[in-house]
Structures are given as C-alpha cells and as structure tokens.
Amino acid sequence: MLTVTRFQRVRMAEHGAFMDLTPAAIDRWRQNIANSTRANYLYEMGRALIAEGNKDVGLQKVRAALELYPALHDARSFLIDHLHAEGGAAEAKSLDSQGRTSFPDFPVAYVLFQVKRHLERKEFADARSLLATAGITGNASGDAVYCWQQIMGYQLQAGAPPEDLLESAEAIVALNGAEPKALEVAGMNALLLGRYEDAIRHLDDLCAATQSNHSALLFAGMACHCAGRFADALARFDATLRCTPDALADRLQFHAGAHAHSAASHLAMGDMDAASAAIAQAQAVDPDDFRSRIFLALVLERQERREQAVQTAQNALRVSPDHPFALIVLGHAQALLGQREAALATVARLKDCPSYLASTMLDLGMWMIPTILPLASQAGISLRQATGR
C-alpha cells in the first residue's frame, strides 16, 4: 500500500501536487523532486567547470540543468547573465521570456528572482517595468505581501530611488496594515519626495505602532513643518523631547535635533525669541551637534545679522562638507548681503546632492525659496517647488 508522510505532503504542496494523493500525482511529485535534485547538481557542476575555465562543457551542464528542470531560476538567470556578457542578447531575451510565461505555478518566485537580479545590477527602471506588468499590485493574498516585503528588502540593499521604495512600502502598508518597517520606509521616502501629508500619516502610524518612536516623531515634525503645519510640528518636537532612548548618543542626537528643528518652526511663526531659546537649548544638550550650528545660522540670518550667519554656516560646513541645508542657508545669507557671485557658487554645490533631498531641505526654510530657486536655476539645478504645500 502506498503511504505518504506528513513531511512528504508538505513537499508535495511546495512542488505543485497540492495534496492530490492519487498514485499518479505521487509519481509526478517524486519525479519532480528527482529532476530538481539532478538539475541542481548539473547546475553547480556547470558553474564549477566555468569557474575553472572549462566554459563550453560548463555551459552544456547549465543548459542540461535548465532543460531537465525549467523552473530552476538560478540556472536560468546564470545563463541569461552569461549570454548578455557574451553578446547573445537574443537568446537571453528568449530565455527571460520563457521564464515569465512558462510557470503558472511559480509566478511570485520568478517575479522576485527577476526583480532581485535587476536591482543587483542597479537596473531600477527595468525592475519598475517588471513590477508594473507582474500583476501583484493590489493583490491581497499572502503571496503579494511576501513579494513586496522581499522587493523592498532588495531595494534597500541596492540603494533604490525613493519613489521605488515608497511604492513598495505603501503596497505593504495597504495590504498588511501597520507594519513598522514598511511605515518607516514609506514615511521617510514620502518626506524626501515632498509628499508631506503622506509622510505625516505614515510616521504617525509608526509612532502608534511602536509606542512613541523618537525617530518617527522627529521626522513627522519635520514633515509637518515642511507642510506649513508649524504648531503640529512643535507638538511632535515636544513629544520627541519626552522620549528617552536607552542610548545616551540617541538621547543627545534626537533631543538636540528636536530643539534645533523647533527653532525653524518658531521662526516660520515669527517668534524670534522662542527660536533663539530653542537654539540655546539645542546647544546646551550637545554643543557639537551640527544641526545646532546650522539652525543658529538660520536664526542669525532672520535677525539680519547676516555676516555672522555667513560665518556660522561656513563653520557648519567645515563639520559636514556640502550638507545641502547648510549650503542653502549660506547661499541665502550671501545673496542678501549682495554677494551674488559667492551665493551662486555656493548654491551650485547642490549639484552633488540628489534634487529631492535639496528640495526638502529648502522646504525647511521655505522663506528662502524666492531667493534660492533663481540661483539654483541659473546653476542648472532643478528643485521641486514646494509641491508638498
């Protein structure tokens, strides 16, 4: 009598038998396992031969592995990569197309595999194109959640652009609710892209999910400030100060940052005394904190003490060379002093900074926009024009 163990049932489910326990199904399953095992052996042997310089025989082994078990995506990808490197683009394209269309039982695995391959090569546009045609967006199945989680992980490792990370993180949030890592990635990248209300929503949800996360509170305050919601920003900065991270370095960093960013919100509300007091508190927490220095320059500039503002911003740049916010503050103060050529040279240094980051930094001091945008345009730099407000 034919019997099947519980372990074998699980393996059958993984290989497409889906608990069909007829003798024919079990025979197919066993043959599938045998083919998979043999194909993996051939593939590894082929790779080893190629590494030793025996390319022709090695490629024969890899092709044989793929012919025996077409769902062996490692072998398919290896062969595609090799063909691209050797000028066999047409065959590589054919193999890729077969992989996308020939395995209805393995769509998620193949999508993940191909996306990972594109991201490892920094082919971000190709990865986006594949996702757009993969049919996983909006699919509420567990496969879709897993798929987006894996994709986001690959993107983080590869340094994908913020719009790609935001898409993946928001897909996870839409499918799976308050998942902290996805909320963090969504909030931070929405902030970078000027989608400030989205950033506030995601970061507030992260705070709710993780009991007043000090980092999320600080960045939610920044998003509120950039959105023109200054009172809401101050409330979140105050909440940051009530958090007590275990590590002393974290306490210094986030408390000094909360005081420094509060100064900008007070400035935007026209309260110069409160802004000066916030800077003094930031410097009391950590006199060496970079943000204390650059926000002090911001306060000095608003007090029309522009020579001191220029000197303070230049000192800040010695600590953190080419920091975009320091460059913006310095360029603005120089322009108001009539030092147009110096201001233009300062703003031109933003070319080495991603446009989305420089744009968000400019929104931190939105009153500088009318002065900085023309200088940036003259320097050939395109900045986002306060799209978040």
User: What CATH number does the domain containing 54 carry?
Assistant: 1.25.40
Angle between helices 6-14 and 23-51 (to 10 degrees): 70
Does residue 346 sit within a domain? no
**How many Å apart are CA 26 and CA 31, to the nearest integer?**
9
212 φψ region: left (φ > 0), alpha (ψ -120 to 50), beta (else): left
Distance, first Cα to last Cα, the chain: 73
* 240-246 contacts, C-beta under 8 A, 24 or more apart: 240/214, 242/212, 243/212, 243/213, 243/214, 243/217, 245/214
Given a contact cutoff of 8 angstroms between Cβ atoms, the answer to whether 95 and 80 are in contact is yes
Total tally of structural domains belonging to the chain? 1
Instruction: Flag whether pLDDT at 262 surpasses 70.
Output: yes
**Residues 6+ positions from 215 with CB-CB distance below 8 Å:** 184, 254
Which residue bears the tokens 């595609």? 80
Q: What is the pLDDT of residue 143?
A: 65
DSSP label of 77: H
Q: Of the candidates 228, 235, 166, 231, which has an alpha carbon nearest to the alpha carbon of residue 387? A: 228
Q: How far is CA 366 from CA 9, 104, 305, in A?
A: 62, 52, 19
Residue 21, pLDDT > 70, answer no
Among 15-24, 124-133, 252-261, top mean pLDDT goes to 252-261
| Domain carrying residue 35 | 1-105
3 in any annotated domain: yes
What does the alpha-carbon distance between residue 230 and residue 283 come to, in Å, rounded to a whole number? 22
pLDDT band at 350 (very low <50, low <70, confident <90, very high): very high
Q: Tell me whether residue 25 is in a domain.
A: yes
Is-contact 241 267, C-beta < 8 A?
Answer: no
What percent of the chain has pLDDT above 70? Answer: 85
User: For residue 316, is pLDDT > 80?
Assistant: yes
- Is 38 contained in some domain? yes
Query: In the predicted model, is pLDDT for residue 86 greater than 50?
Result: yes
Judge whether 215 lies within some domain: no
Among candidate residues 334, 328, 322, the one with its CA nearest the CA of residue 361: 328
Distance CA 219, CA 257 (A): 10
Quick one: which H or E segment has residue 322?
none
Instruction: Tell me whether residue 37 is in a domain.
Output: yes
Please check whether residue 360 lies inside any domain of the structure: no
Amino acid at 332: H
315 in helix, strand or coil?
A: helix
Per-residue burial over 334-358, b = 16 or more CB atoms within 10 Å of its CB, e = otherwise: bbbeebeebbbebbbbbeebeebbb
pLDDT band at 389 (very low <50, low <70, confident <90, very high): very low
| One-letter identity of residue 2 | L
Q: What is the mean pLDDT of the segment spanning 176-186?
A: 90
Q: Are 172 and 179 in contact (CB under 8 A)?
A: yes
Res 85: pLDDT: 77
pLDDT of residue 80: 82
pLDDT digit string, tens, across residues 91-126: 877 877 776 666 554 456 667 777 787 888 888 888
**What pLDDT, on the 0 to 100 scale, is given for residue 309?**
93
Q: For residue 69, give the 3-state DSSP assignment.
A: coil
- Which one, of 272, 273, 270, 208, lies nearest residue 236 by Cα? 208
The confidence band for 76, taking pLDDT boundaries of 50, 70 and 90, is confident
Predicted local confidence at residue 290, as pLDDT: 85
Give the pLDDT confidence score for residue 271 in this predicted structure: 94
Name every residue whose Cβ is closer than 8 Å to that of residue 265 and which is 6 or more positions away in sequence: 221, 225, 230, 233, 234, 237
Residues 6+ apart with CB under 8 A from 81: 117
What is the DSSP secondary-structure string of 308-377? HHHHHHHHHHHHSTT-HHHHHHHHHHHHHTT-HHHHHHHHHGGGGS-HHHHHHHHHHTGGGHHHHHHHHH
CA dist 260 → 73, 191, 229, 298 (Å): 51, 18, 17, 10
Provide the residue type at 5 as one letter.
T
Nearest CA to 168 among 187, 182, 184, 188?
182
145-149, 248-252, 264-268, 334-338, range with the lowest pLDDT: 248-252
Structural domain contains residue 26: yes
Q: How far apart are CA 71 and CA 225, in angstroms?
A: 51
Whether residue 238 has pLDDT greater than 80: yes
